[in-house]
Amino acid sequence: MADYTKYDSRVDSLVIESRTNWDPSIGKLSEEDKSFLARMVHLAPAKAAQVAYWRSHTGFTREITVTESDIARIFNEQMQAR
């Protein structure tokens, strides 16, 4: 049986819906920051610290919990792109 609590490229190719959760250790963020971070983390799900997949009738739902390490990684990637 597949492990649906880590990134899997085959399963990810069948994703029809995405969800974003926020680790409790993350403080209060503006809606604009949350929107940006959610978009960035779902663009590269293989890099996410916590990813899970849930079966649905027609594919899978990808659920990523954004952690402090994800935010640091995204920040560093954005700084390097400048």
pLDDT confidence of residue 1:
42
In a domain, 4, yes or no: no
Q: What percentage of the chain reaches a pLDDT higher than 90? A: 91
pLDDT in tens, 1-36: 457 999 999 999 999 999 999 999 999 999 999 999
Q: What is the mean pLDDT of the chain?
A: 94
Residue 35 is assigned to a structural domain of this protein: yes
- Which residues constitute the domain of residue 38? 9-81
Q: Quick one: pLDDT at residue 2?
A: 55
Our count of domains for the chain comes to 1
CB-based contacts of 43-48 (< 8 A; 24+ apart in sequence): 45/7, 45/12, 46/7, 46/9, 46/12, 47/73, 48/7
Asked whether residue 46 is assigned to any structural domain, the reply reads yes
- Say if 2 falls within a structural domain: no
Q: How confident is the model at residue 79 (pLDDT cuts 50, 70, 90)?
A: very high
